[in-house]
Amino acid sequence: MAFSGTVSQTTLNTQTVIDRAFGRCRIKPEMISAEYIKVAQDNLYLLLSDLANQGAPLWCVEKQIYPLYNGVSAVALEAGTVDILNANLRFLQEVTGTNTDAATYRVIQFASATSVSTVGILWDGASSPLAFARSDDGVTWETIQTETPTASAGQWSWYDLDRAVAATYFRVLATSGTLDFSDIHTGNTPSEIPLGRLNRDDYTYLPNKTFTSSRPLQYWFDRQITQPVMRLWPVPNAAAETSQIVLWRHRYIMDVGTLVQEIEVPQRWYQAIVSLLALRLAYEIAEVDPNLILPLKSVADEDLYKAQAEERDNSPFNVMPQISAYTR
């Protein structure tokens, strides 16, 4: 028997999803005008956006690391953040050695083989693309990973390394331009403390919102349209600047792009997306036979149920009260 030999390599672009949805509505290709294509694109966008109201799809849950700054309580989150699922304050054990600096790199030589799990760069000028590498002799280097920072002067960029392999030498290299930094912080053995979540009223009733500490304990997620913000309490002080906020966020599915671009959904959701779009088009396109609406709805409901039932990580379910913010 001859098989393809590939798995999950077949993808559906926006045009294909729209064509399949119109096909289920019994709309012939010659009837699909440019106006109908625009209607379908808009409905596909609304459909994908609405999934955010039905829980967090696993592929839209992301880990992010945010820096802390002295006297700054507001942590600006990335656009498209729907919710904060978990948020921890993280401390690192700093590891240091002998530094050798040049225009494009810093090399740290440790006294003995040492692992580096997290790197922070405080930029003194414009950030530049980075490569992190390890070496046992300072001559032959193994690149661990590369990153493209977007920070500006005076801002930190923090990165967790995929492989924290012990080595005698560690290098931070600017792969383009110069490495214009004022501090580089290397650490391992991270320790994380969950942050307590406040609602708007809880945050409003805090008597001293400017109280500072090296350990923020709580936050309020200020869910603004253009720039969602995490407001910390107590406000971080200077001693908190080498700590980080590690959070898992729920973000929106990426926007519907051009007709030739793919939609950002995994293979297990293709059937549900086509069925749900077909139902939306049946409600909006006058040429669709009204007698198709109930069958389309039945299929869409079943496909959505199956997709959502599989959208889980299959871990044991435990109920644990979040009291850490009140017991410190």
- Could you report the per-residue pLDDT of 117-129, keeping only the tens digit for each? 999 999 999 999 9
What pTM does this model have?
A: 0.87
Decide if pLDDT at 315 tops 90. Answer: no
Give me the half-sphere count of Cα atoms (radius 13 Å) on the Cβ side of residue 154. Answer: 2
User: pLDDT of 204-256, one tens digit each?
Assistant: 999 999 999 999 999 999 999 889 999 999 999 999 999 999 999 999 999 99
Sign of CA dihedral 262, 264, 269, 275: negative
The answer to whether 51 touches 57, Cβ cutoff 8 Å, is yes
Q: Which fold has domain 60-252?
A: Jelly Rolls (2.60.120)
Query: What is the C-alpha separation between 147 and 13, in angstroms, rounded?
Result: 28
pLDDT value, residue 125: 95
Through-space distance between the first and last CA atoms of the chain, rounded to whole angstroms: 64
Q: CA angle, corner 28, sides to 23 and 30, nearest 5?
A: 135
User: pLDDT of 145-179, one tens digit each?
Assistant: 999 999 999 999 999 998 888 999 999 999 999 99
Give me the half-sphere count of Cα atoms (radius 13 Å) on the Cβ side of residue 313. Answer: 8
pLDDT value, residue 1: 78
In angstroms, the Cα distances linking 288 to 26, 47, 227, 279, 292 are 7, 19, 40, 10, 7
Decide if pLDDT at 107 tops 60. Answer: yes
pLDDT value, residue 322: 64
The single-letter DSSP state of residue 16 is H
Decide if pLDDT at 320 tops 70. Answer: no
Within 10 Å of residue 306's Cβ, how many Cβ atoms?
Answer: 14
Q: How confident is the model at residue 325 (pLDDT cuts 50, 70, 90)?
A: low
User: pLDDT of 246-285, one tens digit each?
Assistant: 999 999 999 999 999 999 999 999 999 999 999 999 999 9
Spatial CA neighbour of 115 closest among 43, 56, 186, 62: 186
In sequence order, what are the residues at sequence separation of 6 or more whose Cβ sits closer than 8 angstroms to the Cβ of residue 50? none
Q: Strand 235-236 vs strand 229-233: parallel, antiparallel, or unpaired?
A: unpaired
Decide if pLDDT at 318 tops 80. Answer: no
- Mean pLDDT lowest for which of 5-9, 189-193, 247-251? 5-9
Radius of gyration of the CA atoms of the chain, in A: 25
User: pLDDT of 80-99, one tens digit each?
Assistant: 999 999 999 999 999 999 99
Question: Over the chain, what is the mean pLDDT?
Answer: 93
